[in-house]
């Protein structure tokens, strides 16, 4: 796996080159793109040529009237945009994880929200309040409540069915849990949707007790969910399911890439819907103020 990752890294252009390609597409000129990024035009031309050699395709047609993307360049630009956006989300999340003494906003979030929604919200907050320093504490929903009640966080996000005691809340989005299996699992070939009784009788790859995901599943199955493996990380649950360890139950938010690539397949359910609300939470009687209030407003305007 490590060797495969290293090979991909050699074949994929670096972020600076991808940002330059996006700037050329946006401005229609290699020279304007170079000025926008603060580099010389010869350096920009060299970087484009190097990227073309690396990929083995021509990306930009140059002429006295400007620079135009080739058909391959248009396609590569679309892919590049996704990589750059993902890098921006990664940077926002990583910055929030740093323990900074000057932090003015302390956020505690359950794992699914921290992994799949919070980076985008933090990018939006940075645009609204570029000087706001944010620290992030990630854990399950029970841990988020503990942080807030201990005054170790200003705003929290949880995924469970109920609001922990001592906290006020606002629903910011909705989410469904789905059952997924690896392509070789027998459930892929079944003709009828899966009944709740069969799901409850099957050992599953699950999030740990105390997580919002587990609370929703246990409530839907009357507390009868049978854990085959338990993990405190959504990523670990997905990896186990992809390896064929067994069926898993996870947020639909967390499975977009695996479902589109068909590394995991969705199993329809017959008589149970695993629906939940995603909530922002804060200590009772202490309505969020300042950056916490702005982040709350952003999440509600960008709900899923």
Residue 173 pLDDT more than 60?
yes
Q: What is the rounded CA–CA span in Å between residue 158 and residue 173?
A: 11
Look up the pTM and report it. 0.63
Q: Which pLDDT belongs to residue 267?
A: 95
Least Cα distance to 238 among 210, 259, 217 occurs for 259
Q: Which pLDDT belongs to residue 5?
A: 53
CATH class of 2-89: mainly alpha
Instruction: Write out pLDDT tens, residues 48-65.
Output: 999 999 888 999 887 777
Average pLDDT over residues 229-249: 92
Q: What is the rounded CA–CA span in Å between residue 57 and residue 186?
A: 42
Residue 1 pLDDT more than 60?
no
- The residues near 240 (Cβ < 8 Å, ≥ 6 apart) are 205, 229, 231, 246, 248
Least Cα distance to 221 among 194, 204, 246, 199 occurs for 199
Average pLDDT over residues 91-113: 75
The pLDDT > 90 percentage for the chain reads 35
Q: Place 101 in a pLDDT band, splitting at 50, 70 and 90.
A: very low
Q: Which pLDDT belongs to residue 198?
A: 93
Domain ranges of the chain: 2-89, 97-168+282-301, 174-276
Average pLDDT over residues 110-117: 87
Tell the CATH topology of 97-168+282-301: D-Maltodextrin-Binding Protein; domain 2 (3.40.190)
Chosen CATH of 174-276 out of 3.40.190.290, 3.30.470.10, 3.30.70.260, 3.75.10.20: 3.40.190.290
Q: Which pLDDT belongs to residue 41?
A: 87
Q: Do domains 97-168+282-301 and 174-276 have the same CATH topology?
A: yes
Instruction: Write out pLDDT tens, residues 241-259.
Output: 999 999 999 999 889 889 9
Higher per-residue pLDDT: 5 or 203: 203
Kind of pairing between the strands at 203-207 and 155-158: unpaired
Instruction: Write out pLDDT tens, residues 147-168.
Output: 999 999 999 999 878 888 899 9
Q: Which pLDDT belongs to residue 7?
A: 58
Q: What is the mean pLDDT of the chain?
A: 86
Alpha carbon separation from 209 to 40, 141, 197, 217, 285 (Å, rounded) = 56, 10, 20, 10, 28
Average pLDDT over residues 81-93: 84
Question: DSSP code of 102?
Answer: T
Q: Which pLDDT belongs to residue 239?
A: 92
Residues constituting the chain = 304
DSSP 3-state of 246: coil
- The residues near 70 (Cβ < 8 Å, ≥ 6 apart) are 57, 58, 59, 60, 61
Q: What angle is formed at CA 96 by the lines to CA 21 and CA 140, rounded to 5 degrees?
A: 120
Q: Which pLDDT belongs to residue 116?
A: 86
Range of 178-187, 202-211, 283-292 with top mean pLDDT: 178-187
Find the range with the poorest average confidence among 21-30, 177-186, 229-238: 21-30
Q: Which pLDDT belongs to residue 77?
A: 87
Q: Which pLDDT belongs to residue 139?
A: 86
Is the alpha carbon torsion for 228, 230, 234, 238 positive or negative?
negative
Query: CB neighbours (10 Å) of residue 26?
Result: 12
Phi, psi of 160 (to 5 degrees): -75, 180
Instruction: Write out pLDDT tens, residues 31-53.
Output: 888 888 888 888 888 999 999 99
């Amino acid at each position: 796996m490590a060797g495969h990752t290293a090979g991909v890294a050699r074949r994929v252009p670096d972020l600076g080159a991808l940002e330059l390609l996006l700037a050329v597409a946006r401005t229609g000129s290699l020279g304007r793109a170079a000025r926008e990024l603060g580099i010389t035009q010869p350096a920009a031309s060299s970087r484009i040529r190097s990227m073309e050699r690396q990929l083995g395709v021509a990306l930009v047609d140059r002429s006295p009237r400007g620079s135009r993307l080739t058909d391959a360049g248009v396609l590569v630009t679309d892919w590049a945009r996704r990589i750059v956006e993902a890098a921006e989300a990664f940077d926002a999340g990583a910055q929030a994880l740093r323990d900074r003494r000057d932090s003015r906003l302390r956020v505690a979030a359950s794992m699914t929200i921290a992994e799949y929604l919070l980076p985008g919200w933090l990018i939006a907050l940075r645009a609204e309040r570029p000087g706001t320093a944010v620290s992030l504490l990630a854990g399950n929903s029970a841990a988020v409540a503990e942080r807030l009640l201990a005054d170790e966080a200003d705003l929290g996000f949880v995924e469970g069915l109920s609001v922990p005691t001592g906290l006020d809340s606002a629903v910011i989005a909705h989410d469904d849990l789905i059952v997924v299996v690896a392509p070789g699992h027998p459930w892929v070939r079944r003709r009828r949707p899966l009944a709740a009784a069969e799901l409850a009788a099957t050992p599953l790859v699950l999030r740990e007790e105390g997580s919002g995901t587990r609370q929703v599943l246990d409530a839907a199955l009357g507390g009868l969910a049978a854990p085959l493996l338990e993990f405190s990380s959504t990523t670990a649950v997905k990896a186990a399911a992809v390896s064929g360890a067994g069926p898993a139950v996870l947020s639909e938010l967390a499975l977009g890439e695996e479902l589109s690539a068909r590394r995991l397949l969705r199993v329809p359910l017959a008589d149970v819907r695993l629906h939940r609300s995603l909530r922002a939470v804060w200590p009772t009687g202490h309505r969020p103020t300042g950056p916490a209030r702005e982040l709350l407003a952003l999440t509600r305007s960008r709900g899923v």
